[in-house]
Structure 1
Amino acid sequence: MSRQTRPKFAATCRACAEECATDDPNEIVEFYRRHHSLTGHDVEWERADLPVLERVPLDADLQSVVEALDEHYENGVPLGVVTAAASRRGATVGETLEEVREVRLTGRFWEPSDDRISAY
């Protein structure tokens, strides 16, 4: 008998019920980008089974989120993990990515590799 496990991460578009389930948190970001470019809709996290998220205070601003997670990842925090952490305070994937862009423009974040960020 084969035992299937559910993917660790899942997100949904509330407007049209499109879903994405994966074991790679950055796949949720890619799902958002594809879906948003076709429909203009945003995406919300449904599930992020990642114990490190419990270490991030619910009221943390984005800079604090990245700083709290940075020590757990080499070469930057995956954007998918950042968006999952921000979703705990009610932010959608699109809202979080826009906030990341704005903070990067201030010079407080940098991107050590594609779709990974670190705080200065």
Structure 2
Amino acid sequence: MSQPHHDRTPFVAACPDCDVERGAESPNEIVEFYRRHYRHTGHDVVLRRADLDVELEDADAGAATDVAAVVAALEPRYESGVPIGIVAAATGRRGATVGETLERIHEVRMTGALYEPRDDHLAAF
């Protein structure tokens, strides 16, 4: 059964397959929800709400999977790297699920274009 979110919760993710919804105060909490949910169910989640303090239009209006461009565009706004939840919110507004975004981040990191200056935060080389 769905867990209702409050209007004040800045981040909300949902699993369309099992009607579960979670609210979070930080974007990386949504990523943790995805990881737990996927481990238990194999289901992906989508962001329903992401109240961000940045204009995502600045983050390359190209393809949703261009996570390197998203990170590069948002990086000046974050000390010690862009939270991966913010990257997921930016790509989610362009149609990508949280799982798809994390897969793409992994692929791009393996090319050396991104690195993790601290856990669950990204920076571009």
State the TM-score, normalized to the length of structure 2: 0.88
Q: Is the 8 A contact 1:26 1:78 kept in 2?
A: yes
| Alignment gaps of 5+ in structure 2 | 1-5
Distance 1:107 1:19 in 2: 34
- Which amino acid letter does the alignment assign opposite residue 40 of structure 2? L
- Of 51-60 and 33-42, more deviation after overlay is shown by 51-60
CA shift at 1:5, angstroms? 5.8
How many residues matched? 117
- Aligned partner letter, 1:26: N
> Percent of aligned positions with the same letter in both sequences?
56
Partner of 1:102: 107
1:50 to 43, 52, 56: 52
Q: Give the equivalent residue in structure 2 for 1:67.
A: 72
Conserved 8 A contact 2:59-2:71? no
Q: CA deviation at 1:62?
A: 1.4
When normalised by structure 1's length, the TM-score is 0.92
Aligned to 1:113: 118
Contact 2:31 2:98 in 1 (8 A): yes
